[in-house]
Structure 1
Amino acid sequence: MDVLVYLIIGCEIGFWVLLAAGLGTRYLLHQKRLGLVLLACVPLLDAVLLAAAGTNLARGGTAEAVHGLAAFYLGFSVAFGHTLIRWADVRFAHRFAGGPAPVKPVKGTAAYRHSLWVEYGRVLIAMAIAVAVLLVMIQFLAAPGEAGELWNWVKRAGVVAGIWLAAGPVYGMFERPAQTAGAQGGPTARS
């Protein structure tokens, strides 16, 4: 297996370890500054992965699927990383620090559809970052004539964005809010 594959796996594990360590330090050990420092280290993992993928190509490595995967990982990590940290922070604060309960929009409501479009915006940002990284690899790092696999990943970005659009916001436009038991003819508060 390619070293970059191990590095991608390591970055994903590192993300969750830093997230857990940062939130645990913040809420369980009550050391907010140290917790913030640990959470601020998360983007360093992305920098390490980007440097490793670029260095591999610059030193004559063959452009392979793992380079495209690294670009996609980087794009999603940048676009969704802060959101995942915020999601976990709310739940950790609720569980361990008496914070408010997490609020999730009810399916089929305007707030739910809005959240799907916001999420899709993040997908577009992720794909834009991935494509930009791929284009830099193609233009400056890949050996001439060896960029075909990277171009395939550029095409995949469009496919991912299209599938996410159909399965997310478009599908969400047709979902209806769940009805309460009283509205469906079931037992009501007065029965």
Structure 2
Amino acid sequence: MKRLGIALLMATPIVDVLLLIATVMDLQRGATASLVHGIAAIYIGASIAYGHQMIAWADRYFLYWFKGGENPRSRKVYGSEHASRERGGWYRHLLAWCIGSLFLLAMIWWIGDAERTAAFFNLIRVWGIILGIDFIISFSYTLWPRKVPVKKMK
């Protein structure tokens, strides 16, 4: 089973590159950039930033569902530990945005037609707004930590 996991993990970058090549080829043939083309860059950024974490999550749940392993649900965390996890999640999101945006900018440069690639600029902008909202939420826990819930007695 471990070999299958390693093989799938090694295949991920190959799938990423094939997706990017297919996207660039379609754009070079004269297609106007759309959200569908941009999703390729988002996928690559997310798979690089979150890839190992997603594979580890899938492995834990596979072991739980099919091999009788321990329940992978993580315990709820509060206070500074929760704030730290939230910040870490935002840093991964920032990494995904940087990688995805670099791919989008590279495709804009490669195609060399601002009209045909306008959707990519819009995608970078909207994703940047989402990243900003995520920043506010994630870092708010640093200022106002999540408190342990108080259990009511009946």
TM-score (norm 2): 0.83
User: Does the alignment pair 1:76 with 2:56?
Assistant: no
For residues 39 and 168 of structure 1, the distance between their equivalents in structure 2, rounded to whole angstroms, comes to 29
State the shift of 1:96 in Å.
4.1
1:162 to 132, 137, 142: 132
Q: Structure 1 residues 92 and 169, CA, compared in 2 at 3 Å: closer, same or farther?
A: farther
Q: Structure 1 residues 95 and 147, CA, compared in 2 at 3 Å: closer, same or farther?
A: closer
For residues 109 and 95 of structure 1, the distance between their equivalents in structure 2, rounded to whole angstroms, comes to 31
Unaligned runs of 5+ in 2: none
- Alpha carbons 1:107, 1:176 under 8 Å: kept: no
1:176 to 147, 150, 153: 147
Q: Tell me the equivalent position of 1:63.
A: 33
State the shift of 1:169 in Å.
3.4
If asked which structure has higher relative contact order (CA below 8 Å, sep 6+), I would say 2
Q: Structure 1 residues 109 and 147, CA, compared in 2 at 3 Å: closer, same or farther?
A: same
3-state SS, counterpart of residue 41 of structure 1 = helix
Moved over 6 A (4+): none
For residues 150 and 89 of structure 1, the distance between their equivalents in structure 2, rounded to whole angstroms, comes to 34
Q: Which amino acid is the alignment partner of residue 66 of structure 1?
A: V
State the shift of 1:95 in Å.
4.3
State the shift of 1:100 in Å.
4.7
Q: How many aligned residue pairs are there? A: 153
1:141-160 alignment, distance < 5 Å: 141-160=111-130
For residues 28 and 133 of structure 2, the distance between their equivalents in structure 1, rounded to whole angstroms, comes to 33
Q: Tell me the equivalent position of 1:4.
A: none
Q: Which amino acid is the alignment partner of residue 58 of structure 1?
A: Q
1:136 to 100, 106, 129: 106
- Alpha carbons 2:90, 2:138 under 8 Å: kept: yes
Q: Which amino acid is the alignment partner of residue 177 of structure 1?
A: V
TM-score (norm 1): 0.68
Q: Structure 1 residues 66 and 98, CA, compared in 2 at 3 Å: closer, same or farther?
A: closer
- Say what the alpha-carbon RMSD is for the aligned residues: 2.4
Unaligned runs of 5+ in 1: 1-25, 27-31
For residues 55 and 95 of structure 2, the distance between their equivalents in structure 1, rounded to whole angstroms, comes to 17
For residues 83 and 73 of structure 2, the distance between their equivalents in structure 1, rounded to whole angstroms, comes to 15
